Copies of this chain bind each other. A is one copy, B any other.
């Protein structure tokens, strides 16, 4: 067991990935936002009319992929090639958010996908907190990762 973000002396570092090959890499992550049924009903009704909470949160999540290395201290800056954020209503009080990020690079984009779902979820919180302060965000986790030497990682998304 080794935490690669520290060297032998315990100093943190942005690990040199210069010797790794450039490969096509992808990561998917998810988060869920739990809220009162009335809150989710309000989001859903608005989306059908005007003022779409998910669209604002989607933009926030996509933009956050490009801010990841501004936020996470030892994360590499990467020239991201694609990013998407999707929303799914799981049940009367749960929204699932999934982000997919792509790049051809020497290191992966797990943190970009994890950051995207976190910021999208925080944006949902921000937009609904005036009516439901007790909302919570959970299940922020990696769903899939491919393209690195550690192999293909995949697991099932949460479902209703």
Contacts and interface: CB of A to CB of B under 8 A. Distances in A.
A121 to B, nearest CB: 7
B82 A126 contact: no
B123 A73 contact: yes
Contact of A51 (B3, B76, B126): B3
A107 to B, nearest CB: 8
A24 interface: yes
A91 interface: no
Interface string A60-78: 1011111101111111111
A95 interface: no
Interface in A61-117: 62-67, 69-86, 102-106, 110-111, 114-115
A76 B133 CA distance: 18
A70 B55 CA distance: 17
Contacts of A16: 81-82, 102
A14 B65 contact: yes
A13 B82 contact: yes
B102 A73 contact: no
Nearest to A38: B1
B139 A136 contact: yes
A145 B9 CA distance: 25
Contacts of A31: 137
18 contacts: A3-B127, A10-B49, A11-B51, A13-B84, A14-B80, A14-B84, A15-B82, A55-B56, A60-B71, A63-B71, A72-B119, A77-B80, A79-B79, A111-B126, A118-B119, A118-B122, A137-B137, A138-B139
